[in-house]
Amino acid sequence: MNRPLRYCLSLVSSLLPLAAAAQLKSIPQEFAASTVVLTNGDTIRGSLVLHNDLDLLLVTMADGTVRTVPALAVRTFAVSGEVMRFDRLPPQYYNYVSTPPRMRRRWAQVQRARPFLVYPWDHDHDYATSTAPAFFERLNGGPVILLRRQRLVSRAMPWSDPSWVSGYTTRPVGMPTYYTDVRELLYLGTPQGSIVALRRPKRDVLAYFPAEAEQLEQFARQHNLDFNEGAHLARIVDYANSLRQMTASTQ
């Protein structure tokens, strides 16, 4: 085989994994239990699969039947017992000398209850002329609500990077090729029923609460809160709500 041809084949081989990764779709989230309140007033319960990319629920009922429910038909729902796959953890959780106990269990359930709401969404297109119902996880109380959308996607393991595998340039035997990465988008749900995208959370939250901005920054510093962390930002937004309510009660 001549040298140019060998080089071309090598280049194609190196690009194939990248092409495959680009075609990977979002991974649905699975929950052991759910309560779904529909717009027609009915309530259904069962294990649930959330397809965030489609804003679609698959609910397995007690009799084993699976009900497909789009966001258009949902008023609100709550889930618990998220099924997590520990063989899909990011590379930094792997230990090549001894496998930690959490890696020996293929599945585990995170029991924390999580409420979801439905809002009209333009998919973050600035010049969109229409919206569609979409699912958002509720992270705080209100009346201004911190909302979150999560997207699980597969990412290739960087086994070829020596910083991950001490001196090795190939994937260790038995280790997976891909891991699950969680992408997170944050929003504010307004009392009027619209949403505000937090592309730069600190800037956008302070802009939404201009009268309370200085106090919010001071509150964040005092409590070591990060505007980019969902749990931290939920506390900040709750504090902003309390400040607005105090101001309203004195007027």
* Nearby residues of 189 by Cβ (< 8 Å), 6 or more positions away: 117, 119, 136, 138, 142, 144, 145, 146, 147, 195
Give the pLDDT confidence score for residue 102 in this predicted structure. 47
Spatial CA neighbour of 149 closest among 242, 42, 26, 34: 26
Residue 117 CA to residue 75 CA, distance in Å, equals 7
Residue 98 inside a domain? The answer is no
Spatial CA neighbour of 154 closest among 10, 4, 23, 12: 23
pLDDT along the chain (251 residues), means of 10: 48 44 69 97 98 96 97 98 70 48 57 94 90 97 96 68 50 60 91 96 98 98 97 98 92 74
Contact 146, 244 (CB under 8 A): no
DSSP label at residue 87: G
Q: Beta-carbon neighbour count of residue 46 at 10 Å?
A: 20
Give the pLDDT confidence score for residue 145 in this predicted structure. 98
Residue 245 inside a domain? The answer is yes
Question: How many separate domains does the chain show?
Answer: 1
Residue 73 inside a domain? The answer is no
Residue 163 CA to residue 191 CA, distance in Å, equals 48
Instruction: Give the range of the structural domain holding residue 225, as residue numbers without chain letter.
Output: 198-251
Give the pLDDT confidence score for residue 22 in this predicted structure. 43
Sign of CA pseudo-dihedral 218, 223, 228, 230:
negative
DSSP label at residue 86: G
Helical spans, DSSP H, in 96-168? 101-104
Residue 101 inside a domain? The answer is no
Give the pLDDT confidence score for residue 157 in this predicted structure. 66
Residue 229 CA to residue 71 CA, distance in Å, equals 26
Residue 9 inside a domain? The answer is no
Give the pLDDT confidence score for residue 126 in this predicted structure. 85
Contact 86, 106 (CB under 8 A): yes
Residue 82 inside a domain? The answer is no
Residue 241 inside a domain? The answer is yes
Residue 224 inside a domain? The answer is yes
